[in-house]
Amino acid sequence: MYVLGVSALYHDSAAALIQDGKIIAAAQEERFTRVKHDASIPINAIRYCISSANVLAEQLDAIVFYDNPFLTLNRFISNLQYVKNDCDDLLKLSLEPLLLKKIWVEKFIRKELGSLGKQDVLFFTRHHISHAASAFYPSPFKKAAIITIDGVGEWTTTSIGMGDGNKIELYKEIRYPNSLGLLYSAFTYFCGFKVNSGDYKLMGLAPYGNPCYYKLIKDKLIDIKSDGSYRLNLDYFDFQNGRSMTNDKFASLFGGEPRRPESQITKREMDMAASVQKVIEEVIVLLANHTKQIVGDDVKHLVMAGGVALNCVSNGKLQRKKIFDDIWIQPAAGDAGGALGAALYYYYYKSGKSRISDEVHDVQYGSYLGPNYNDEDIEKFLNENNYAYKRWDEDDIFQEIAKLIDNQMVIGLFEGRMEYGPRALGNRSIIADPRSPYMQSKLNMKIKYRESFRPFAPAVLEERKDLYFENAIKSPYMLMCMEVRKEIQKDFELNRILNENEDNMLSAINTVRSDIPAVTHVDYSARVQTVTEESNPFFYKILKSFLERTGCSTVINTSFNVRGEPIVCSPIDAYKCFMRTEMDVLVMGHCILRKEEQPIFEDNEDWRGQYALD
């Protein structure tokens, strides 16, 4: 039984295909079109998925859309009634994409595929059901509480419920315009970052600040109840009118206009980031406590999805609270993961198929679900373009890569199946030495072309995680922040350094904070990926060889892209990114390319301008 799930027409459109409950393929459309957060009908991702299973569109048992556009239309009309005469911007922003695209999504998909499967009909789920299904069904748990939190899907912004066997039930919800995701996005916007793509930046900025606006936010912007429910004070926001996220009253509350993108980040933005992050963490803990009360003590596990579930700082703090014994978070927790959730929900809940779980292993397969290029494909590409490379044997390549990292080389790593979700997990990654105090700023400024303050994640051998991190847990999807062990921390006074350097964050970034400074954030936290030989043997052997050479069993792992560009998908994407940046080496399967040996790179694209503002 083949079921195709599709998400589209908001942001991060994607497709996912399951066969008899097994996830065959899943990918975001942006990886193929090279348009960041591409929201279009994911025809390239759909074609990739069905070709992976060697089936035709008409052979699919069901095609399922992750959202109900008619409920979204209902919200839109209700919002028009709320804003009344002040609705011009809302009409301009939403009317055309809603009425001319979302309502007719069935027509668009049929046009592209020629068929809507055996039943020739497009099925619809609800947005937060798709999130819930994406979190529960791939998880290792037979029974689990469910929390979903995002900006908005149809009417819902937050939901809690439970999954048991092949059943999912959502018990309670919070509805638009009250939204934790939109609150966070308002601060993302006000601090000068782009909504839906800059939330990671706000999270990374938070440790530089003090949460001095925390009480002000709770007094003026959000009313939080003891069960984690909340209401926003819409007097300070403008999203309901279809304009910007915040208004003049919000600006007055925080002492002036929003930060202009690309301008200097000041203490105000640092403190605002720290304050809203603290509020988000408080609400999530309250929600988890309330969910536990509803599902009962016999439910030991929690699963999460929705864009807010990608906040690895709050995830780490929730894990340490031990409200639940264990937490599993969908790696593609945002809208992209809705495609997978929609397919799984139809297969298990609507079709009544039985579900098997073992409480240990998930069925996301490391989230390595995208296109794969083997050594034959790679060598054909390299030879056709006369690119210089050396093919290495299995016994030698890992030692060579370890030596290159030890020699402070920055390496683009392209191997195996592309990751599904926003995190690179060793197959489309840039890797480097975490022991260097200068590597964070070097990677940000010379390779990623992004803000210097943004932290990098460590990938660590799972069996050695406790040597580097306090209360370390398995974290294969880089969705939990942990504290670097005190034994390897170095004395570091962030406030003094910032005060002495007029809020210049670069001085703090280049200060040694631990034995692995390039992956230790200014609050001694790290967004950890644990690696096993079972999940990714190639990446595991790199880490193992680096350990044998240096005694260090962790490397920097960041996504293989530059700012504003999707993670690379194909060999040509990887080569272009390699040549356009100051990366030293490109590893493609068992082939190693060195920058100085490459022919002159003819590149007429204005890519720096294209990526400069996001």
How many angstroms separate the CA atoms of 427 and 412, rounded?
A: 10
Average pLDDT over residues 466-470: 97
User: What is the model's pLDDT at position 504?
Assistant: 64
Q: Is 109 helix (H, G, I), strand (E, B) or coil?
A: helix
How many angstroms separate the CA atoms of 329 and 451, rounded?
A: 27
Average pLDDT over residues 444-459: 82
DSSP element (H, E) containing 592: strand 591-594
Q: Which residues pair with 608 in a beta bridge?
A: none
Residue (of 509, 388, 528) closest to 451 by Cα position: 509
Question: Among 9-18, 500-509, 582-591, which is the least confidently predicted range?
Answer: 500-509
User: What is the model's pLDDT at position 97?
Assistant: 65
For residue 61, pLDDT beyond 90: yes
Helices within 457-535 (DSSP H only): 494-500, 505-509
- 90 in any annotated domain: no
Residue (of 20, 17, 16, 42) closest to 31 by Cα position: 42
How many angstroms separate the CA atoms of 13 and 575, rounded?
A: 25
Q: Is 406 exposed, middle or buried (0-12, 13-18, 19+ CB in 10 A)?
A: middle
For residue 75, pLDDT beyond 90: no
Contacts of 452 (CB under 8 A, 6+ apart): 440, 441, 444, 445, 505, 506, 509
How many angstroms separate the CA atoms of 4 and 13, rounded?
A: 13
How many angstroms separate the CA atoms of 58 and 117, rounded?
A: 4
**Residue 610: which pLDDT band, with cuts at 50, 70 and 90?**
very low
**Residue 606: which pLDDT band, with cuts at 50, 70 and 90?**
very low
How many angstroms separate the CA atoms of 459 and 465, rounded?
A: 9
**338-356 pLDDT, tens per residue?**
999 999 999 999 899 999 8
DSSP element (H, E) containing 483: strand 480-483
Q: Is 411 exposed, middle or buried (0-12, 13-18, 19+ CB in 10 A)?
A: buried
Q: What is the chain's percent helix, strand, coil content, to nearest 5?
A: 40, 20, 40
Average pLDDT over residues 98-102: 71
Q: Are 227 and 290 spatial neighbours (Cβ–Cβ below 8 Å)?
A: yes
Residue (of 180, 177, 196, 193) closest to 242 by Cα position: 177
Residue 241 tokens, joined? 């009118």
DSSP element (H, E) containing 170: strand 167-175
For residue 259, pLDDT beyond 70: yes
For residue 530, pLDDT beyond 50: yes
- 561 in any annotated domain: yes
- 110 in any annotated domain: no
How many angstroms separate the CA atoms of 492 and 522, rounded?
A: 8
**Residue 96: which pLDDT band, with cuts at 50, 70 and 90?**
low
How many angstroms separate the CA atoms of 570 and 477, rounded?
A: 22
Residue 193 tokens, joined? 């970052």
Contacts of 395 (CB under 8 A, 6+ apart): none
Residue 468 tokens, joined? 């580097």
Q: Which residues pair with 482 in a beta bridge?
A: 526
Average pLDDT over residues 66-92: 82
Q: Which residues pair with 27 in a beta bridge?
A: 15
Domain total in the chain: 1
**Residue 563: which pLDDT band, with cuts at 50, 70 and 90?**
confident
Q: Are 427 and 419 spatial neighbours (Cβ–Cβ below 8 Å)?
A: yes
For residue 100, pLDDT beyond 80: no
Mean pLDDT score across all residues of the chain? 92
Neighbours of 464 (CB within 10 A): 18
Report the amino acid identity of residue 43.
Answer: I
Neighbours of 71 (CB within 10 A): 16
Q: Beta 167-175 vs 156-164: how paired, if at all?
A: antiparallel
**195-210 pLDDT, tens per residue?**
988 899 999 999 999 9
- 204 in any annotated domain: no
Q: Are 585 and 410 spatial neighbours (Cβ–Cβ below 8 Å)?
A: yes
**469-507 pLDDT, tens per residue?**
999 999 999 999 999 999 999 988 777 777 776 666 666
- 348 in any annotated domain: no
Report the amino acid identity of residue 284.
Answer: I
In which residue are the tokens 């009409």 written? 91
Percent of the chain, pLDDT > 90?
A: 80
Residue 478 tokens, joined? 């880089």
**350-399 pLDDT, tens per residue?**
899 999 888 889 999 999 999 999 999 999 999 999 999 999 999 899 99
Average pLDDT over residues 107-123: 93
How many angstroms separate the CA atoms of 147 and 171, rounded?
A: 10
Residue 533 tokens, joined? 């030989």
Three-state secondary structure string covering 369-409: EEEECCHHHHHHHHHHCCCCCEECCHHHHHHHHHHHHHCCC
Percent of the chain, pLDDT > 70?
A: 96
Q: Are 516 and 487 spatial neighbours (Cβ–Cβ below 8 Å)?
A: no
What CATH number does the domain containing 423 carry? Answer: 3.90.870.20
User: What is the model's pLDDT at position 142?
Assistant: 96
Terminal Cα-to-Cα distance of the chain (whole angstroms): 41
How many angstroms separate the CA atoms of 65 and 372, rounded?
A: 26
Q: Which domain covers residue 442, as residue numbers? A: 373-481+528-597
User: What is the model's pLDDT at position 180?
Assistant: 98
How many angstroms separate the CA atoms of 541 and 545, rounded?
A: 6
Q: Is 17 left (phi over 0), alpha (psi -120 to 50) or beta?
A: beta
User: What is the model's pLDDT at position 612?
Assistant: 31
For residue 319, pLDDT beyond 90: yes
User: What is the model's pLDDT at position 99?
Assistant: 64
- 498 in any annotated domain: no
Measure CA 402 to chain center.
28
- 445 in any annotated domain: yes
Question: Among 69-73, 435-439, 599-603, which is the least confidently predicted range?
Answer: 599-603
- 157 in any annotated domain: no
pTM: 0.94
Average pLDDT over residues 153-167: 97
Q: Are 345 and 158 spatial neighbours (Cβ–Cβ below 8 Å)?
A: no
User: What is the model's pLDDT at position 257?
Assistant: 96
Average pLDDT over residues 452-467: 92
User: What is the model's pLDDT at position 601?
Assistant: 84
Q: Are 327 and 302 spatial neighbours (Cβ–Cβ below 8 Å)?
A: yes
